[in-house]
Chains A and B, each alone.
Chain A
Amino acid sequence: MKTIPPVCPEPEGQKYWRSIDQLAETPEFQAMVEREFPQGASELRDPVTRRNFVKLMSASALLAGVGLTGCRRPEEKILPFSKQPQGYTHGVPEYFASARPTRGSAVPVLVKSSDGRPTKIEGNADHPAYQSNEAPEHAGFKHGGTDTFTQASVLNLYDPDRAMRFAKEGKDVQREVALDYLAEFAKKASQNEGDGIYFLMEQSSSPSRLRLQKIIAEKYKQVRWFSYEPVDLSVADEAASSLFYRDSYKVEYHLEQAERILSLDCDFIGSEQESFRLMRGFSKGRRIEKAEDNMNRLYVVEGLFTLTGAAADHRLGVATSQIIAVAARVATEVQRAVGGKQIADFTEIHRSYKFTEKEEKWIAECVKDLVQHGKKCVVCAGYRQPQVVHVMSHLINQMLGNFGSTVMLYSAPKQEEGTLQKLAQRLHDGRVDTLVIIGGNPVYNAPVELDFANACKKAKNVIRLGYYEDETATVSTWHFPMAHYLESWGDVRTGDGTLTAVQPLIEPLFNGVRELEFLARIGGLTPTSAYEIVRETFHEQIFPGKAKDTASEEMWKRFLHDGFINGTAGRSAAPEFEKEKISQALSKIVLDLPPTANALEVVFHRDSKVDDGRYNNNGWLQELPDPITKLTWENVILMSYKTAKALGLKVENKENNNLQVPVIKVQVDGREIEGPIWIQPGMADFTLGLALGYGRTRSGRIGKGTGYNAYLLRTTHGIYIASGAKVLKTDAMHPLATTQDHWAMEGRPIIREANLEQFRKKPDFAKAMQMEEPSLMPHENPDGRMYPNPLDKANDVAVHAWGMSIDLSNCVGCSACMVACQSENNIPIVGKDQVRNNREMHWIRIDRYFTSGLPWKKDSAPWNADKDREALLEANMADPQMITQPMLCQHCEKAPCESVCPVNATVHDQEGLNVMV
């Protein structure tokens, strides 16, 4: 379990569980808690807001339902339906396999289709990405977990603000005219071999797209390709590939195999590549039921406070820029411990860093543990870390013998595309004739020094395929509406390389163009149908060089039915990193100075809700409380308690219910942004956490006016970490909407913890932590009631008794269940003002509590002296642990809500479930 676990209480002793209430009982903290109650009904600046949101949501619902007369079933066959039309029952949902493409990977999904309209997304449990994760005893329950983004992505399909028209210079153009233009463009391009044509795309693992790119590149020799992701999750792959001369690799971690995990700023629970799979693998190692069961152990080094840090058994807070030193130190120690031939000298890298005693001890213990579990452990680094940290993490894995067991390398096609920096250079040089932007939103999210908006204006012609008419649309000559992935034919490869299908559940709602079709049209290729293209690619990949026959046809059907083809995973390679490449990768590493109050460090991170800004107009995600801060509808400037104190900032709630926080200016290299602050316990000191994806200038009705734009501070050199930042105070205050601002459990045994050893000693520890409460005359009444209800006997003969349990040792607080519940039950959003009034409508919420785990003695009450009180508070805030607990309907057998509801809105059904009407 967590660091320094408190003593497990014995049943006969103190029954109160007191690991959590320390914070609460300091008068200072009490005062702070008092001040920081969220909400405030006093100011109904716009009481109508909620209705607006409800209207907007019902617009989405209309799109999904009655608003669309007639069916929009895809014209091409989707197998289960076409084979069994007689099995179709109106109103009974069907499920189709598909996948949600992500940056360079995909989430395999099963999509629930209600009368031809996709309504809910689940993971495709048959997919190999889920297979290795299933514990044998749970194999009967096939669940494919997903993540918040996947769950919420269905709402984007019905977004009334998505691009719905073909536009030339902002004016509506008929679809046919626009498509004719593409054909003409292709014809013209073929005359000069595509000279001056530049493509900018998002990362993708689609073999079809790769194939089209190749065909176009052959046809038009002068065409140039570029790709850009504002949050690039492929650093680990690039680091691995950089250790070889020729080959290109993808790295895949198998946390389900790992008994010890060291995360170097790797937030695999929230924001890394294939988080949905890693989370699952991790939780498999946490699942214990019997005293003999084993658990994995997670070490996390990080600068921000992430869900992975919250799940850690041992967490070390280190400024994000200094994690290189920790990685190098771990590498040094592991190398020493393992012995054998020296791979590289890591000491140079961490020489200038002064490790504290605590850090020394922490690293020593961690390394000892890792080495003991060689081959059964894993070290992974996060996307925010520079490539060298990833290189070191690969080398440590190699030294520990993890490759082949917990870390896999799959050979993957080399990325040929150029970087955005090079493209911007050429644009500024005026060498770009036509810029084709497919997806993305570079005008909003490109590094600020590239001045991409103006760069685009230097191109003669900008053709864009975009899902929204966003910032980038303003610089586009032509704008084409993009089809949602649930409207698209496509293919992807998941992390391990398994070929996975992307199939449409519905015809494009606003005649959106599919990415593959767009590429084919702009390249003047035939066929232009995305379906045909995908089929072609499929045949080429599975039956290379063979003619189409019955077997290939059957295989295609299988592909569509299952959503993937087994056995198409890449071959895992045994790595032999090139010595020369290693020393090359580790040379000339300069460690930044640790941040101070005068030179703060800014960390840009992918937002847990709107990603890099692509989900900015998604109401479910905007209203989803951030898993850690529980803030909704915007981003804040995160900082530790000590940092805030050093900067003279205080989060204060003057009116006791109207949460207002100070607004500060953050300056880096002469650039400046302004945003509200938030004190995040556990963050590294003198670090500011800035979530990306907000402050959009052209978003939809949902995303408009949410948060500040952190991209305005972000340059190529400080893409994730910028140092030397300064903070200026302003007089402004900003209202925030948080759904839970109470941090402590007030000594109540709500979440009951024990570590593995304690659990083994006493598997029913949780029961022993019950609060002391005398039962009512138990000697007279075995069921403990003073007045037994004669009707109870009749109640107890129901056929079923249902129970629902959530394994809290597995819950990581990712909040996907909250979005899933909204998606499944069509729960409206209410908007920021109403969240401030505590009127969010989520049916599930995730409670989170912080605890310091500091040793505690009630009698010695250290806060009696003022000086000590402050110190205690600071210590508590410095290194807390976080615990999450999902709260939802408990489906009580004798539900108190049922007997008091005057209108029968909550009733018991025949099966004994508590249902809400």
Chain B
Amino acid sequence: MAEQTNLKLAPPPRSLERIPLVQNNRSIGWISDQIAQIAEGKTPMWWWLAFIPSILLATMLFVMLAYLVSTGVGVWGPGHPVMWGWAIINFVWWIGIGHAGTLISAILFLLRQKWRTAVNRAAEAMTIFAVMCAGIFPVVHIGRVWFGYWLFPLPNSNSIWPQFRSPLMWDVFAVSTYFTVSALFWYIGLVPDLAVMRDRAKTKIRKFAYGLFSLGWTGSNRHWSNYEKAYLILAGLSTPLVLSVHSIVSLDFAVSQLPGWHTTIFPPYFVAGAVFSGFGMVLTLLIPLRTICKLEDVITMRHIDLMCKVTLATGSIVGYAYGMEFFIAWYGGNPFERTIFMNRAFGTFWWGYWTMIACNVVFPQLFWIKKFRHNLLLVWILSIFVNIGMWFERFEIVVTSLYRDFIPANWGYFRPTWVDIATYMGTFGLFFTLFLLFLRFLPVIAISEVKGVTPQADPHHPLGGAKGGHH
């Protein structure tokens, strides 16, 4: 929009210059090479070392699921009065982790946060795999899994429809929509990069496979134009989903009338918690990844720093929600509500509550200090704490509201079975197996997008455009 003028402007002082998103003035070719080579060539040793335990754990998951389906859901721990056990805890936990991907790829995209380009691909992959892990639990918990499709509103001769008033029903729609849109969004973003992979491929199979999935991408202006539109539309579609999925998951609890669940704070509180845990997981995955794959120049300390800030912000929102729950329990005057909250903090399961507080509220406060945000080891450990804390949050919500409800005669205790534990561990196996396969077969960072935020890509930049330089 700049009008032609004779006025000469001095270049901005160095302190106001944008810190480049890719460091060390890496060339565009370097970016392609560095990212693509992770998925090319001989499989490195570290990959096998990670993959073999993962696939073993994943196998265990399927053994556990087979055992469950053949024997019955009784192999899990729930019983009266804690009818919801680890299955829903793990479901909510994995769904929560899945939140960072879409938030990064959609919301940050709409907000023109360019730093997202370095992390969005991996985060989206993580989202999809986490949602897959999450989806296992509701599907198998119904016992007769072959009737799982009954959850969908399919016309049938009995004219019986699912109960549309039930949040559990909304869950089915929310999660399946979320998964579909995330997968589509991820795939659309992959298309130009798949073409890069195709062009670099040396074997026939690779050429064919990447060629097939890159949908004949040539990089023409028309392609780019359609691509940008589709990407924008999908970003627009994904944005409400980021908020809706976990809101609806929270309604599973909030719509029931149990003290400790029946609160209006649940939807925002759950969304904040989900983003919190999602960023925790992104940090857990990317910190080792950038070192192992030598991507420090793409996933820079600035990225880590920004993600730490998001974690700090959402962790503090979660902490506020914990406090507000207690305040309302007292202020609302409902004696059952009060009892439940006192019991959460000081009852049989006090250890879960205080683990949660420590991991979710106390430790992330360290991120106020820049020095800590730049200590990779510390950040990595804290990011794991975040995930531990968020698991305990769900545990506390599920178990402590149920095990001591209104009528003392009803009171019980909850204890998981070994199958519960093995199934949960198994989902890690599935998650890491998929993630490692993703590393070896797909570009782990959005190559084209990262190129788009390099100085060279800016036509007004001294190095940019067609002015000089060479692609």
* A residues adjacent to B (C-beta < 8 A): 24, 34, 37-42, 44, 47-48, 50-51, 655-657, 740, 742, 744-746, 748, 750, 771-774, 834, 837-840, 845, 847-849, 885, 887, 896, 898-904
Contact = CB atoms under 8 A, between A and B. Distances in A.
A635 B1 CA distance: 90
Interface string B60-89: 000000000001101111111100000000
A900 B409 contact: no
B333 A773 contact: yes
Given A41-B416, A42-B415, A896-B257, A740 B74 contact: no
A34 B407 CA distance: 16
A48 B348 contact: no
A795 to B, nearest CB: 13
A839 B79 contact: yes
Contact of B71 (A48, A745, A901): A48
B409 A742 contact: yes
B166 A901 contact: yes
Given A773-B333, A901-B163, A50 B407 contact: no
A740 B409 contact: yes
Given A48-B71, A746-B408, A902-B163, 16 more contacts: A24-B408, A39-B79, A42-B417, A42-B418, A50-B74, A655-B415, A656-B413, A742-B410, A750-B407, A771-B335, A774-B333, A839-B79, A902-B168, A902-B172, A903-B162, A904-B161
B293 interface: no
Interface string B178-192: 000000000000000
A657 B403 CA distance: 12
B5 to A, nearest CB: 59
12 contacts: A42-B417, A50-B74, A51-B71, A657-B413, A744-B408, A748-B407, A771-B335, A834-B79, A838-B80, A902-B168, A902-B169, A902-B172
Nearest to A41: B77
Given A657-B413, A837-B74, A750 B408 contact: yes
Interface string B254-274: 011100000000000000000
Interface residues of B, number: 45
Given A750-B408, A849-B409, A51 B416 contact: no
A746 B339 CA distance: 10
A39 B412 contact: yes
Interface string B376-413: 00000000000000000000000000000011111111
A30 to B, nearest CB: 11
Contacts of B167: 900
B212 interface: no
B80 A839 contact: yes
B163 A847 contact: no
Interface in B198-221: none
Given A48-B71, A839-B80, A847 B409 contact: yes
B150 A903 contact: yes
Contacts of A839: 74, 79-80
Nearest to B331: A774
A779 B348 CA distance: 39
Interface string B156-173: 000011110111110010
B71 A904 contact: no
Nearest to A840: B80
B256 A896 contact: yes
Given A39-B79, A44-B75, A34 B348 contact: yes
A773 B335 contact: yes
A249 to B, nearest CB: 44
B350 to A, nearest CB: 12
B164 to A, nearest CB: 9
Contacts of B113: none
Contacts of B74: 44, 47, 50, 834, 837, 839
B334 interface: yes
B162 A904 contact: yes
- List the 3 shortest-distance A-B pairs measured between CB atoms, nearest first: A847-B409, A838-B79, A902-B168
Contacts of A50: 72, 74
A749 to B, nearest CB: 10
B151 interface: yes
B417 A44 contact: yes
A839 B77 CA distance: 10
A47 B406 contact: no
Nearest to A849: B409
A750 B414 CA distance: 24
Interface in B305-338: 332-335
Contacts of A42: 415, 417-418
A44 B76 CA distance: 9
Given A39-B413, A41-B77, A837-B74, A902 B408 contact: no
